Structure 1
Amino acid sequence: MKIKSLWLFGLVIMAILIYSACSSAPEKTLLEKYFHAVSMKDNQTMAAMAVEPLALEAASYQVVSISPEQVEPVTLPELNKKEAEAKKKMDDHVGPVVEAKDALDLAKDDLDNARTAGARAALKKKVEQLQAKYDEEYNAHKELQRQYTEAKEAAAKEEEITLFSLGVKSLPMVREMQGTVSSKEVIISAKTKAGAEKKYKVILRRYVLKDEAGKPYNGRWIIVKFVPVS
């Protein structure tokens, strides 16, 4: 009798665990709420659930596949570091560009004021060399500017997604906070009223951070964006 009772108790516990696992699936709750908002044309709710909301023309949808949940260290501190390094490289290179431009301008002035053919020929060659040097430094600086802009945009985007998950507009020192980001990718098939179907990859994330004092900041699961699947 005792064995039978233990067996039944085990089944109950297993049922509870299975139910908890199913009910805790973030993609189910998120997508149900999101598509309800879509059906109601509730843009405000969609914007509160997705970083890049998409007003789908969908009468219904179904989940095709769900990737395993991935948990990785947050990348914002590293992206912030890369942005700072890129800015320093760009700022440090201003001097060489200015020096190259000044040297070129001075040589051009000397060429304009040269009185003999020999002097003009020598200065013309010097101007050509300095022009090439300036062009090299200028193009290098443009590349450093591009790298800085790219790093700045990447850090800003990751900060935006992080804050969105945490449910705050701003958070001091968020770029230095350590923690984890959980992610899932869900493939869905959305069907219009006319019966046309289109697949999307839905990217989900959740951030959990800690500040220097160990205070936790637990984010919510959010939709980052919908990516059309061909």
Structure 2
Amino acid sequence: MEKVYEGKAKIVYKHQDPDKYILYFKDTATAFDATKKAEIAGKGELNNTISSLIFELLEKKGIRTHFIRKLSQREMLVWRARRFDVEVVVRNLSAGSLCKRLGIEEGKVLSKPLVEFFYKRDELHDPLLCYEHIILLGLLKEEQISILKGMALKTNQILVEFFKEHGLLLVDFKLEFGELPDGNIGIVDEISPDTCRLWDLKTGEKLDKDRFRFDLGDLTEGYKKVLERIQTL
């Protein structure tokens, strides 16, 4: 297969259909702008399976994504997309960079979901963007900003309820978007414990990439717990 792009966690390959790509999920784990890095056996398979299940759920709920189907343990067939250089983060509780920026203690329940936009530029450390920054840089049009925010909030509503039903608390998560071959906007990349903060609803145990970031326990053990719960989808 011809490689299109290789990122920190995935490789994108061309497909015989020019409107489709194949995503290959790697075992690489990174944190803190890749200053912390490790190969963790089984991580790629877990993220591919979890992402496939979540994308299937969102598609059933009317949220467009690039997902077509899971091809193998590590591969996913997706629609080709013109990705926007913006990451959208939805927060339900305070954690991560929000605590550092605003001096909020971790775990504070927010009065309503907070939607933040970040510039997807590794060399700039993915800085926070305000509305005017997005327009100034030509990253999105005004109507696209509204569409992304609306889709992010709807996705949050679906996933908060879904994870709660499976004993998990969705603290926050990151989404990436792109323009699909039919011209519609859809969610791209992945939705997994790599991109979501997920805590056990009863114990507060962290079952996401914070386990790797802060040496809180075996990464795949946490991801397996997430998968075991949501496989009842």
Tell me which protein shows more helix as a share of its residues. 1
TM-score by length of 1: 0.26
Tell me which protein shows more strand as a share of its residues. 2
